Structure 1
């Protein structure tokens, strides 16, 4: 394990926007349980597609998209608040 100092751009919680040493842009740190939830949404999409269940796939994909949109919005807001240009 290596200890490093990182810049924290948001409060903690289930995810945080941080910049590690040597990186130009911040990234998003996601707690393990939150990452597991995202993975579960993807697994639900895959399972529904395997079963030709387009309604189920759409619902699961909608949950995944909502979670990712929330992460991206938090990331964009943190960068804007600190006058950092988005990398995309």
Structure 2
């Protein structure tokens, strides 16, 4: 294990925006439990598609997209607050 200092652009919650040493742009740190939930959300979409339940798949995908949109908005707000251009 290596210890490094990172720049913290948001609070240190479940989806902190940080910049690692040597990186031009910040990234988002997703905690392991949150990553597991995200994976489960994607699995729900896949399973609903495999069953042919497109209504459930669509609804699950909408919820997943809303969560990702909120994460992206937090990331973009942090960049804006620190006058960092978006990497995309």
State the 4+ residue runs in structure 1 displaced beyond 2 angstroms. none
| Alignment of 1:79 onto 2:73 | no
Per-residue CA deviation, residues 36-80 of structure 1 (Å, 9 max, x unaligned), is: 111111000000000010011011101110110011000000000
**1:47 match:** 47
Secondary structure at 1:11 match in 2: coil
What residue ranges of structure 2 are gaps of 5+ in the alignment?
Answer: none
Per-residue CA deviation, residues 11-33 of structure 1 (Å, 9 max, x unaligned), is: 01111000000000000001111
Distance in 2, Cα, partners of 1:11 & 1:25: 17
Distance in 2, Cα, partners of 1:38 & 1:58: 16
**1:58 match:** 58
Aligned pairs, how many? 88
TM-score w.r.t. length of structure 1:
0.97
Distance in 1, Cα, partners of 2:38 & 2:59: 14
TM-score w.r.t. length of structure 2:
0.97
Distance in 1, Cα, partners of 2:40 & 2:66: 14
Distance in 2, Cα, partners of 1:56 & 1:17: 32
